[in-house]
Structure 1
Amino acid sequence: MTIASDPRPTFGSGGAEPYARALRREGLLQLVRSPGSTRERGGRPGDAARGTAQAAFDVARWSADADAADLTTIDDARSVLDIGCGPARMVRAAVDRGLDALGVDVSVTAVAMAVDAGLPVVAGSVFDAGLPGEGSWHVALLLDGNIGIGGDPTALVRRASSVLSTDGSVVVETAPDARADVAYDAQVVDEQGRASATFPWAEVGREALGRHAAAAGLRVAQTWSASGRTFCRLVTAR
């Protein structure tokens, strides 16, 4: 199933399509910031002036089974919407637990891989109108750096919360640096130097996430760490 398409540039798409290639071959990718595009939001000096920075991704991990840290994010969930699901390891984990689950991803290749594996996944953006099950999901996931989707974390968590049931929550995996709060333009580049089109992205740490949550009418209800990763649960502010 494909839903109405959001026209904004998205993670790893366009150009030489390195993300799609890596998904099929389980390669390594670099997320490379465009020089001069970094925009600080937390008032921390220095980062914006550093220019190009890189973060590495091992795509094989996204195609593997969910690990113990991953599974903590769906403990006690009744249903799961995985935003930016990739090859849908979290959808598989939720289905294996007998939960209603759906993944959404902008990558046609990732969606095809998940559908071929018999998993419920749709092609599209979280910002698209008419996501299946809007208003009924118990947990919406933003893992693997997906708080960066669209380059505007406040807008993203606000949109993610809009698909939830009244007692639902958004679970966000935050950046290793608790104070990180930057937005920038970036490209995905593979080991052969093939680059995607440029797209907006962001990085948000645990401390900074609270500011974005509050601006979206949410609050951080729970924070926990597992296997060196940090997660926050956002619920409607009351």
Structure 2
Amino acid sequence: MTTVAEVYGLGLAGDRVWLEGSRDAELPVRDWNRDHLDGDQALLDRCQGPTLDVGCGPGRLSTALLGRGVPTLGIDISRQAVALARLRGAAVLQRDVFRPLPREGGWGHALLADGNIGIGADPIRLLARCRDLLTPAGTVLLDLQGTGAHVRTDRVRLRAGDLASDWFHWSSLPTGALPAVAAAAGFGVQDVWCSAGRWQAELRTSDHWRRDPG
């Protein structure tokens, strides 16, 4: 059986990768390897201090933030993604977000872009882990899965040509489910918006959340 990281690596090298399961669809790995995607700007503009890019992939956002002078560390479990990000000039570690990380409790922002809220198939657990990594006034910036009402967790695998990965679980978080999930992890929803067709949100730790940021 081919690992998830190996099939993902084929996508980073240019192969088409498909997500198979209850909802088969092409995974836009080749897009993630670009220098910029429509909708990135809204996330990047909100990163005003040290930022941890969780599941950074080939370093699109990490590199953009470093270019703005924002201290940024990317983490990813894929060896190929880490290598590509470093070629771009990003500071990246091959690391699992649930393992010990540098500067725990000192990050101003955590990025969960490109559907990475699904890491671990438990958005509450992932956000709670991000809360531990952030400063008391830190924020999480994330992409959401449309405007549905419920968290969805699917059993999926990746396929590139004749190679298929082992099966794993992945979650998607829509706008309607966000407030309850955020609250369970110790966050309030600071803002939700749609940029270039991407639904996105900013979460702030509960002690510093205000309903009206203005």
* Superposition TM-score, scaled by structure 1 size: 0.81
Deviation digits for residues 23-82 of structure 1 (CA, Å, limit 9, x no counterpart): 12x23222112xxxxxxxxxxxxxxxxxx2213222221111123511211214212211
Deviation digits for residues 184-218 of structure 1 (CA, Å, limit 9, x no counterpart): 2211112x131112222101101112111111111
Question: 1:158 maps to what in 2?
Answer: 128
Q: 5+ residue gaps in structure 1?
A: 1-12, 34-51
Change (3 A) 1:16 1:127: closer
Q: What is the alpha-carbon distance in structure 2 between the residues aligned to residue 68 and residue 55 of structure 1?
A: 20
Q: Where do residues 1-238 of structure 1 align in structure 2 (5 Å cutoff)?
A: 14=3, 17-24=6-13, 26-33=14-21, 52-76=22-46, 77-129=48-100, 131-190=101-160, 192-238=161-207
Q: What is the alpha-carbon distance in structure 1 between the residues aligned to residue 168 and residue 80 of structure 2?
A: 18
**Residues 183 and 201, structure 1, Cα contact 8 Å, conserved in 2:** yes
- Structure 1 residue 165: deviation in Å? 1.3
AA partner of residue 159 (structure 1): R
Q: What is the alpha-carbon distance in structure 1 between the residues aligned to residue 4 and residue 63 of structure 2?
A: 30
State the superposition RMSD in angstroms.
1.6
Change (3 A) 1:59 1:207: same
- Structure 1 residue 114: deviation in Å? 1.3
Q: What is the alpha-carbon distance in structure 1 between the residues aligned to residue 49 and residue 194 of structure 2?
A: 22
Change (3 A) 1:214 1:81: same
Deviation digits for residues 64-119 of structure 1 (CA, Å, limit 9, x no counterpart): 11235112112142122110000010001100101100100010110111123321
Q: What is the alpha-carbon distance in structure 1 between the residues aligned to residue 40 and residue 90 of structure 2?
A: 18
**Residues 17 and 195, structure 1, Cα contact 8 Å, conserved in 2:** no
Question: 1:8 maps to what in 2?
Answer: none
AA partner of residue 216 (structure 1): A
**Residues 63 and 89, structure 2, Cα contact 8 Å, conserved in 1:** no
Tell me the SS of whatever aligns to 2:164: coil
Change (3 A) 1:15 1:172: closer
AA partner of residue 58 (structure 2): P
Change (3 A) 1:15 1:59: closer
Deviation digits for residues 122-167 of structure 1 (CA, Å, limit 9, x no counterpart): 00111112x1121111110111111110000100011112111122
**Residues 131 and 186, structure 2, Cα contact 8 Å, conserved in 1:** no
Identity of aligned residues (%): 35
**Residues 4 and 158, structure 2, Cα contact 8 Å, conserved in 1:** no
**Greater Cα offset, 112-121 or 155-164:** 112-121
**Residues 115 and 121, structure 1, Cα contact 8 Å, conserved in 2:** yes
Q: What is the alpha-carbon distance in structure 2 between the residues aligned to residue 145 and residue 233 of structure 1?
A: 14
Change (3 A) 1:15 1:138: closer
**Residues 16 and 195, structure 1, Cα contact 8 Å, conserved in 2:** no
Tell me the SS of whatever aligns to 2:85: helix
* Superposition TM-score, scaled by structure 2 size: 0.90
Question: 1:38 maps to what in 2?
Answer: none
